[in-house]
Structure formats: C-alpha cells, structure tokens
Chains A and B, each alone.
Chain A
Amino acid sequence: MELTLSKDTLRKMYLALFLVAMLAIAVIAGKWLAARQSPKAGASAVDLSQPAITALTDFYNPDRNGERVAWEDKVCANMTGDGCLLFRQTFADVIWKSPQQVPAAVTFGETIESLDDQTQVWKVNVEIGAVSTPVYINVEKGEAGWLLARVLFEEEAKARYGGN
C-alpha cells in the first residue's frame, strides 16, 4: 500500500507534533517547578520574618545589658495577649535569671498541627552554640502574620508529639 501525502499535509503534521511536544514539555516543566517550590509533607511555606519567629528569637536572646522590661516588651510585641501575659508571669523570670548566655538562632522546621481554634503548632529548631534543640510553639494568626502564643513545655511536647 502506498500513502501519498502532500508537502502541505506533512508540514501540518510536523507542526502538530511540534506543538504537542512543546505542550508536553511545558506540563512536565511546570510540574517539576511546582514540586521544587512546594514544601515537604507537613511543612508550610513559613518564612523567618513571621512575628512568631521574631518573638521566639527575642525570647531566646535576652539582652541582659538592658532593662528586663524592655526585653519583655520586645518579646511581647510579637505575641498574642494571653501569650504575653503568661510569658511575663511565668517564663520571663526563669529565662532572665538563667545562666544561658550563648546567642541562639531560630529556624523554622515544619507545621506540626492545625488546631480547631485556628491556631497552629510549629516545630522550630533553636540552635544554642552548636547544640540544636527542637522546640514546639503554638502560634495564632494575627493581622501582621503568625503571632507567638506560647512555647510548649518539654513535657507537653513529649506527651503530644513525642518531643523529637
């Protein structure tokens, strides 16, 4: 059997094949880019400029050369109302009097849980010296971004999330 195709038909076939190939490449490239940009399972696209991360960084870096109240105010500036109250009542004294003097760096780890009260629990890494400690924080969405509600206690993190 012999099939005769005109030059014009061949040109159209080549064009169609080219368009299909380009479309396939675009789809594959799009998926690859999306896969590269999307966070890992369980993680959210949280950047380090979030108020909660700023609050936690200040929380772990008390400026003992200044006034204690100034440090508390700085931490509270990026916390929820209740969180600030609890921080001043319960956490601040322990931290301020702690012998800990090594600068601490905070990096976001992953979103662990989204709760019914519209808050989330994040796992962050706090690096003190060369020691990295996983810390769980409860955050609440505010107008400026996610605010720090509370640092979970070690016992609490262990009971809820295994602590590691």
Chain B
Amino acid sequence: MNTKIARRLDSIAGWIMLFAITFLLASPFMFYLSPVHADGGGWGDVFDSNGNLLPSVIDGGQVTQDAPWMPTIPGFGQIPATYHVYYTPSGSTVLLPSTMTTFFLAFAPGDQIGSPSSVFSTGAGVLTAMLGSALGGTFDAGGFVSALSGLTYTSPEQFADAMIAGQEDIWSLPPGDVTQMLVFLGGAAWGDFDGSLYLMALLYTPDNCAASPVGCPELPPTPEPGETPVPTPEPLVCPADSVAPGLITVNGQKTAPEYPLVVGQDPDQRGVDVSFSASVAPTIYTKWFKIPESECRPGADGNGNYNCTTDNGAQGHHVLVGWQCVSQVQVFDECIASAVASIALSQSSRAWILDELSIRYPGAYIHRPSFSVQGSGCSWTASETGLQVEDPGHWNMTVRGMTSGTPVSAPRNFSQNVGVFDAWLKEISIIK
C-alpha cells in the first residue's frame, strides 16, 4: 500500500514537473505563434509587425495525412500525421505539425517535409528539450537508466541525445515508458493547450510549396482595385468510399474417361476422374479525395508577388479555378477459406433405378448416391481419380464453400452447380 502511494505521489510530482518544464520550453514558441513579434524569412506574410496573424491569412484547419513514418496499429494501419495549416494570399503554406507528428517526423528516415523555406524551431534542439523533459520529468533518472538494461546512459537527456543521433529509438524504451511518453506527446499534460500546442512551424513559399507534405495552396488573389473578384469555386462533393467484393469463380468437370461405365460392369474398374477449382478475385476499396485545381494567370497577386509562369512565358500568379475528385484504390486479396466438392446422383436417376431398372434387373438398388472431394489452397483446387461410381445415371457436380473475407469485407458463402456427367450400363443405351 505504501509503495503504491509513493508511486502515485512520484507520478503526480513527475507530471507537475513535466508541465512546468514543458510550459517553460514551449512558451517562446507560443510567444512567436501567438500575437507577438515576427521577422523576415517569409514570416512577414503570416504575421504583422505586432505579431498578430494577418487577416488575409486563411486558416486551412487541421489536416491529417497517411505517413509511412508514423507508427502502425496492428490491423488498422498507421496513425496519420497531423498538421494545422495556414495559407497566405501570396501562396505560402505554414504547417504546424502536432507534437506527436513532430516527434515521429524527427526520426523518420530521409527527407519527409521537403525543404521548408523557413523552419521556426531548431528542430533537434526542440526535440532534445522535449525528450529531455518528457523522459526526465516522467521518470526518475535511476529508474529510467536501470530500465534500459545493458545500456550505459546516465541521464534521460543523454538517452534523448542518442535518439536524436539515431543510435536509439523510442522503441528501446520499456512499453510502460512509451505509453507515458505518448500520453505526454498527445498533449494531455498541457491543460489549456490540450491538442493545440505546436513546437515547430514550417513555412513553404510559393516557389517551394510542392515540397510541403500538403502540397501547394491554390488560392484566389486579392483583386486589383476595380477588378472583379474571382469567386472561389465551391468544393465538389466526391463519391462515397466504396467496397467492391471480388468475383467468386467456381469450376468443375469430369476429366476422364469419355464414357464411364459403372464399376460393377467394368472389368478394369476404371472409375471416373473429376477435378474442381474455386478462386476469388481481389476486393477493391476505393477512397475519394478532393484536390484543388489552379491555373496561372498573368500578373502579380494582390501582394505584388509572382509565383508561376504562364504558357506564354509571362510571370503570373496561381488562381484556384476548381476542384477535382481523385480516387485512391486499395486492393485486398481474398482466399477460399474452406470448400468441398460433392458429386450426387440426380433424383431422376434414383427414381429410374428403383422404378424402371428394377423391372429388368429385379432387386436393383442404389449403391452409393454421393461422393465428396476435399481440396485445399487459397486458390482452391480438388481432384479425384478413379472415383468408384456404382450407380448408372446423371451425376451432378457441386462446389460449396466460404471465402476468407478481407479487412474491408465480410466472409461470403457460395454454392454452385458446376456440371453433370453420366455413368453408363453396358446393356442399357439410355439412362435417365
């Protein structure tokens, strides 16, 4: 009990310290991103001389994007990267990655954010501070170091440095510590700043906006005096996401001999050869996105800036002229989970044996009216050679089974008649 209370007190103290350190670390950035001072490097397009967000800056809201460097939830895919986006009339894009996005971005291989025209933060410096405070504030150094058996870091900050240098990653930490780190990054410890505290700002000027993870903004220019404003086209309503289950294909046939005799009258007891197959085409999941379309109009935009070249080679500016729906197609393979083929003497043949054939052959009876054939495989196949058919007549071939389902579609049952073959008596030229 005492240990439990001590652990809880320790945890509370840790959170308080963490909050204090984080607020201290984050305050300069909040100072910058809130109504405060802004200077060159393109930031003048975002803030006025008093640090207020310029009225012309458009809040693009929160944008999420699939990113291969974000962690993956088993069975559900990756946690998307999240940015708050602002657009300036001159076509600059300002991205504020969420703290969790900032964190995983820092350890992503390669260049994931293009080359921003200006980065407001020192990148690794911010991360070192963030990691240092997270690790140091949440865990006592002794416990932290001892948890990493075999490692020689003497402080959380040192471990943070090793992470920055790429010698360690977050997954080197015990799962419980990772949980606390992620809770910290998720902003739960930040009270009023819950979910809205940004430690990094990325600015992409129009000539460089294609490098931005969210691409280029397509915005109408501020109209010249006397010029008719270009109306912003209404965004399209794109089709709903759709799932198209793959077609189930089933086949079956008698492969030999051409005219099977019932085995009771065949001195070689040859029997019948049959083969079957079943497969499922992939399921197609179609997801729709809206993307803006623009064209380059000659002349400067409302701020006197040029950000494109027209087909005639003249300097111009981008204008949003419409929207386009673009689909992303995901293909999910599906298997035959289980199936069985059956061969059954038709009802008419059974009646014929018992009612008519028994007159010519007194005591005639049905020997074995059905067989089943097992198979296997994702693309299912089954075959049987020399099936000992003892009863004459028409034999129906059927395949029944179930598909495996995909992450976007449920398993499906199927049953299909795939053909008929005849088994003959020597003396009887007509079977029914």
Report the interface size class on chain A: 35 or more
Interface of A is mostly: mixed
- Assembled-state Cα–Cα distance A99/B146 (Å): 42
Q: Which residues of the other chain, B, contact A116 by a CB distance below 8 angstroms?
A: 146-147, 174
Contact B71 A98 (CB under 8 A): no
Q: Which residues of the other chain, B, contact A159 by a CB distance below 8 angstroms?
A: 169, 171-172
Question: Min CB distance, B31 to chain A, in Å?
Answer: 26
Asked if B74 is an interface residue, CB under 8 A from chain A, the answer is yes
Contact B77 A94 (CB under 8 A): yes
Asked if A38 is an interface residue, CB under 8 A from chain B, the answer is no
Question: Min CB distance, B414 to chain A, in Å?
Answer: 14
Task: Report the stretch among A12-20, A42-50, A122-130 that lies at the interface.
Answer: A122-130
Task: Report the stretch among B129-137, B245-253, B387-395, B404-412 that lies at the interface.
Answer: B404-412
Interface residues of B in 89-111 (CB under 8 A from A): 100
Interface residues of A in 141-156 (CB under 8 A from B): 149-156
Contact A99 B176 (CB under 8 A): no
Asked if B335 is an interface residue, CB under 8 A from chain A, the answer is yes
Contact A155 B72 (CB under 8 A): yes
Contact A154 B72 (CB under 8 A): yes
- Assembled-state Cα–Cα distance A105/B169 (Å): 32
Q: Which residues of the other chain, B, contact A104 by a CB distance below 8 angstroms?
A: 75
Contact A150 B175 (CB under 8 A): yes
Flag A81-101 by CB within 8 Å of B: 1 or 0 each: 011011001110011001111
Which of B80, B243, B337 contacts A94, CB < 8 Å? B80
Contact B408 A100 (CB under 8 A): yes
Q: Which residues of the other chain, A, contact B337 by a CB distance below 8 angstroms?
A: 129-130
Contact A94 B73 (CB under 8 A): yes
Contact B171 A155 (CB under 8 A): yes
Task: Report the stretch among B42-50, B177-185, B209-217, B295-303 that lies at the interface.
Answer: B177-185
Contact B75 A128 (CB under 8 A): yes
Asked if A160 is an interface residue, CB under 8 A from chain B, the answer is yes
Q: Which residues of the other chain, B, contact A82 by a CB distance below 8 angstroms?
A: 179-180, 183
Asked if B16 is an interface residue, CB under 8 A from chain A, the answer is no
- Assembled-state Cα–Cα distance A126/B172 (Å): 25
Which of A100, A129, A131 contacts B76, CB < 8 Å? A100
Contact A86 B74 (CB under 8 A): no
Which of B75, B178, B182 contacts A100, CB < 8 Å? B75
Interface residues of B in 134-187 (CB under 8 A from A): 146-147, 169-172, 174-176, 178-180, 182-183, 186-187
Asked if B237 is an interface residue, CB under 8 A from chain A, the answer is no
Asked if A102 is an interface residue, CB under 8 A from chain B, the answer is yes
13 contacting pairs across A/B (C-beta < 8 A)? A82-B183, A85-B186, A86-B179, A94-B77, A95-B73, A95-B76, A101-B408, A102-B411, A116-B146, A117-B174, A121-B175, A138-B176, A156-B178
